[in-house]
A and B are shown apart, each in its own frame.
Chain A
Amino acid sequence: MIRSKGRTRLLTAVALASGLTLLATGCGSSGDDGDKGSASKGDGVLTVWAGSQTPIVANFNPYAPTVLHAALGGVYETLFYYNKASAEAPTPMLGESFEFNEDGTELTITIREGVTWNDGKPFTAEDVVWSFTNDTSKPEYLASAEVVDPTTVKLTFTGPQFTNEFALLGASWMVPQHVWKDVPDPVTFANEAPVGTGPYTVQSTSDASYTIVANPDYWGGAPAVEKVQYLGIDANTSAESLLKTGKVDWAGMFVADPDALTADGRLGYINTPQDPTVLYTCANVDAGCAGAQTDVAVRQALNVAIDRGVINEKAFVGLAGEISPTFALLGRDDKWISPDVEKVSPQEANAAEAGKILEAAGYTKGGDGIYEKDGKKVELTLTSVEGWSDYNAAAELIAAQAKAAGIAVTASTVTWDEFSDSRQTGSFELIMGGVVGTSVADPFQIYRDWFSGEYTQPVGTQLESGEWNFSRYSNPTVDAAVNAAAATNDEAAKKAAYATIQTEITRDLPYIPLVINATQTFFDQKDFTGWPTEGDLYAFPPSWGSVSAGVVLSTIKPTE
């Protein structure tokens, strides 16, 4: 009885509190409720979340690691745009065409005429040369860059550079020499009023957001969306609420239940899986790796013991894509997949097959159902970063699936620092990790950076910057094929080299492929049209995409 009375009083208190709430709403709405709707919609302002968190600090220097998203593609542009969502040829931006010489040591670029910087000065071949040769941007392999004529630039390299086509043409920002030559330290320059050639110019920056406006003199024609506001948002859940309530119009982020957001029809949705999720295995005994996973038979058995369908369904809410053991992106890079290897990793578990592989390698099943060899059980520790809930869940599933196949896998979580440290130094057995997907329709970069013996270090030594071969895998056949592929621009020769690499890595499995991570994008299709769609994937859709976001911004239009 006492309790229920208390509850009625509590109700009164709640009523009082909501009364106060109403009061406050009344105060607040007098000023902003009315025009808030129009501020984000009526006059065509596009509000974007590209992943920035508050406080936002003005930094539009394309060479700075903390550069704000709008600078890359919105203000600064590259010579060409490489669409990582499709296999089409690069789109000319500030460049018109390019050509390598026979052996790949010279690259001749023709640049677009009539382009001006947003301060009115013309964009020249000297600017291009400067953009390649300034202290911050100059690649080590670049011997010289020279102006051939006012619209032609020739780059000369120390060796064949076919494989750096994207880095040179699709990821080198064109900056104005007349501004940057006076900057003492280009890395620490904040560049708050950037001079670029892109479709937008920076209007203002505050601690909570920054705004860019259309560049009326853009070489591709002034963009139709006049104003774009980028917000700083600290939590994914807030971004989700803002999308739902119509406050954010374009965002690229993970949402477990995308249908709930798109239900009212305002938001369109596209999923373009890009980056592989794998099990890193410390694979190379010669480099100092220890543990059961150093035996290729154990890795092969694990590979078939895993139920990728279940992992995608349960850990990645069915949004991840299927992976190819060749690490070529299915759909986009199909032409590079050798016909002699499995195209897609098995989607279902096959414990019997796993057992067969282990038995053929001399393992016998112990009384507890776990395989052993020479008295040593096949026991492995699989770590994943605490708080990466999809990876944690996947690790648990893998542990259960492996156990069914007679492999004891213990899933445990570690902090980010431990994770980073263990993969950098090679002191691990299995890690749930990611592989960085390639920015062009060609898996080469993964083969070189993640699989070649030149991009790794012995266990105990930290990998150097640019080296990603955490597995310590080193195979002379792969290394030779990687070098052969790097030295040629001939498709048939490259395919042959890739086929060699694929045969080796699908057998050795230093990274056991799992799924391709979802890359989700939500966009306001009611107020704006022209977004990239499944049918017309003219650019990589997420709002955080570098270069591609500029392409999308200059393509979309407000609806009438």
Chain B
Amino acid sequence: MKYYARRLTFYVITLWAAISLNFFIPRLMPGNAEDIFRAKMARKGELTPAMEKSIQLLFGSDDQSSLWDQYLRYWNNLLHGDLGTSITKFPAPVSELIGQALPWTIVLVGLATVLSFVIGISLGAWVGWRRGTWVDGIIPASTLLQSVPYFWLALILIAVFSVNLAWFPIIGGYDTFMFPDGPVATWEFFSSAVYHGFLPALTIVLSSVGGWLLGMRNMMVSTLSEDYITTAEAKGLRPFRVLTTYATRNAALPSLAGFSVSLGFVVAGSIVMEQVFTYPGVGKLMINAVQDKDFALMQGVFLVITVTVLAANFLMDLLYGFIDPRARHNG
């Protein structure tokens, strides 16, 4: 029990520190939102005096209070579940923007991460099992795919499958020509969303499967030289049983730990994928918020990411304490 209390205190302090950093770091960055906004409008050549005046009114309203007051207000709002209003996507509340983007990110990036893990681990186990044969050729092929810059891979796939062959849509999470009013709860909409998600998911899987595969294959090779594998083989167990229950199970452990971390980061979305496919998601909100100094949005997105990563770690900690009693005593 003491172990769990200790872990809990640790996480509460970490959470407080993370949320406070989340408030201060954006404010330490150079540049200010108003200038950026003005210059952005000016580059479009449409900055009228009236527009300048409204930019001033919109941005200049909360500059008077001190940093400390702002910090207290930030906590107060946070505890009331109010994340503020986005300035660059005015007048949408930050919670609404994140709420809209999060399901798309979790489903697409989450599924792609799980798929990539499952494919990588099973392929890796197989490749490790058949080491030294022609299947080793899969490794350079998959690591090549991973080392290709993601956006380039995505652009190539779009050029081939979406533009030239016209098999897949070019942008969006669903067919905006068919559903100009936004998401609806129909079967057509669902299938449209699945159809639109295929290529983005494929690119994520293609570009991340290599890492899992390589790690798993190497673990597999070293596990296969363990004594208990030799014993299992000597006992005359069927090779398939040795592969699954003895080798793979043990070799997958380190990858599983890595997997829990990458699951935590799923909520951060995939910035480049969302940009290239104009896919609705959290990553894009984050990058736009950072570029345009949209503090409220930036804090909201970071908060969601921090909390999820911490929660994922906390769960893993609890799980570890449960699985491995040594962690409870030494931690």
Residue B38 interfacial (CB < 8 Å): yes
New A-B pairs, 16, CB < 8 Å, besides A21-B167, A57-B92: A21-B198, A22-B167, A55-B280, A64-B58, A65-B41, A72-B46, A136-B50, A139-B49, A167-B50, A231-B171, A234-B284, A238-B171, A238-B276, A241-B163, A420-B39, A465-B34
Instruction: Please tell me which one of the listed residues B97, B100, B192 contacts residue A32 in the complex, with CB atoms under 8 A apart.
Output: B192
Task: Find out whether the CB atom of B90 lies under 8 angstroms from the CB atom of A10.
Answer: no
Residue A233 interfacial (CB < 8 Å): yes
Stretch from A101-109, A147-155, A242-250, A297-305 at the B interface: A242-250
- Please, what's the 1-or-0 string for B73-94, where 1 marks a CB less than 8 Å from any CB in chain A? 0000000000000111111100
Residue B177 interfacial (CB < 8 Å): yes
Contacts of B41 on A, CB cut-off 8 Å? Answer: 65
A2–B136 CA distance with the chains assembled, in angstroms: 8
Contacts of A204 on B, CB cut-off 8 Å? Answer: 180-182
Stretch from B6-14, B154-162, B318-326 at the A interface: B154-162
- Please, what's the 1-or-0 string for A241-283, where 1 marks a CB less than 8 Å from any CB in chain B? 1101101000000000000000000000000001100000000
Task: Find out whether the CB atom of B90 lies under 8 angstroms from the CB atom of A57.
Answer: yes
Instruction: Please tell me which one of the listed residues B86, B136, B177 contacts residue A36 in the complex, with CB atoms under 8 A apart.
Output: B177
Task: Find out whether the CB atom of B176 lies under 8 angstroms from the CB atom of A209.
Answer: yes
- In the complex, how many angstroms separate the beta carbon of A274 from the nearest chain B beta carbon? 6
Contacts of B174 on A, CB cut-off 8 Å? Answer: 208
Query: Mind listing 12 A-B residue pairs with CB under 8 Å?
Result: A21-B198, A53-B284, A55-B280, A72-B46, A137-B53, A206-B181, A206-B182, A208-B182, A231-B176, A241-B159, A242-B171, A245-B166
Task: Find out whether the CB atom of B137 lies under 8 angstroms from the CB atom of A416.
Answer: no
Residue B278 interfacial (CB < 8 Å): yes
Residue B288 interfacial (CB < 8 Å): yes
Residue B43 interfacial (CB < 8 Å): yes
Contacts of A59 on B, CB cut-off 8 Å? Answer: 90-91
A53–B288 CA distance with the chains assembled, in angstroms: 10
Residue B175 interfacial (CB < 8 Å): yes
- In the complex, how many angstroms separate the beta carbon of B40 from the nearest chain A beta carbon? 9
A238–B180 CA distance with the chains assembled, in angstroms: 19
Residue B117 interfacial (CB < 8 Å): no
Residue A63 interfacial (CB < 8 Å): yes
Residue A434 interfacial (CB < 8 Å): yes
- In the complex, how many angstroms separate the beta carbon of A276 from the nearest chain B beta carbon? 11
A6, A7, A53 — most chain B CB neighbours (10 Å): A6
Q: Which residue of B lies closest to A53 (CB)?
A: B288
B35, B168, B285 — most chain A CB neighbours (10 Å): B35
Residue A88 interfacial (CB < 8 Å): no
- In the complex, how many angstroms separate the beta carbon of B267 from the nearest chain A beta carbon? 16
Residue B72 interfacial (CB < 8 Å): no
- In chain B, residues 263-304, which have Cβ atoms closer than 8 Å to a Cβ of chain A? 274-278, 280, 284-285, 288, 291
Interface SS of A by simple majority: mixed
Stretch from A23-31, A353-361, A487-495 at the B interface: A23-31
Contacts of A173 on B, CB cut-off 8 Å? Answer: 50
Task: Find out whether the CB atom of A424 lies under 8 angstroms from the CB atom of B137.
Answer: no
Chain A residues close to B by CB (< 8 Å): 1-3, 5-7, 9-10, 17, 21-22, 24-25, 27-28, 30-32, 35-36, 39-40, 45, 47, 51, 53-55, 57, 59, 63-66, 72, 136-137, 139, 164, 167, 171-173, 187-188, 190, 203-211, 229, 231-235, 237-238, 241-242, 244-245, 247, 274-275, 416-418, 420-421, 424, 434, 436-437, 439, 465-466, 544-546
A5, A36, A416 — most chain B CB neighbours (10 Å): A416
Residue B101 interfacial (CB < 8 Å): yes
Contacts of B86 on A, CB cut-off 8 Å? Answer: 57
Task: Find out whether the CB atom of B134 lies under 8 angstroms from the CB atom of A6.
Answer: yes
Task: Find out whether the CB atom of B45 lies under 8 angstroms from the CB atom of A274.
Answer: yes
- Known contacts A190-B91, A238-B276; is A136 also within 8 Å of B138 by CB? no
Task: Find out whether the CB atom of A418 lies under 8 angstroms from the CB atom of B173.
Answer: no
Contacts of A244 on B, CB cut-off 8 Å? Answer: 163
Contacts of A139 on B, CB cut-off 8 Å? Answer: 49-50
Residue B188 interfacial (CB < 8 Å): yes
Task: Find out whether the CB atom of B36 lies under 8 angstroms from the CB atom of A420.
Answer: yes
- Known contacts A28-B192, A187-B58; is A36 also within 8 Å of B178 by CB? yes
Task: Find out whether the CB atom of B280 lies under 8 angstroms from the CB atom of A242.
Answer: no
Contacts of B88 on A, CB cut-off 8 Å? Answer: 66
Residue B28 interfacial (CB < 8 Å): no
Instruction: Please tell me which one of the listed residues B36, B141, B180 contacts residue A209 in the complex, with CB atoms under 8 A apart.
Output: B180
Contacts of B91 on A, CB cut-off 8 Å? Answer: 57, 59, 64, 66, 188, 190
Task: Find out whether the CB atom of A9 lies under 8 angstroms from the CB atom of B134.
Answer: yes
- Known contacts A54-B280, A417-B31; is A39 also within 8 Å of B100 by CB? no
Q: Which residue of B lies closest to A23 (CB)?
A: B198
Contacts of B188 on A, CB cut-off 8 Å? Answer: 31-32
A418–B295 CA distance with the chains assembled, in angstroms: 19
Task: Find out whether the CB atom of A238 lies under 8 angstroms from the CB atom of B284.
Answer: no
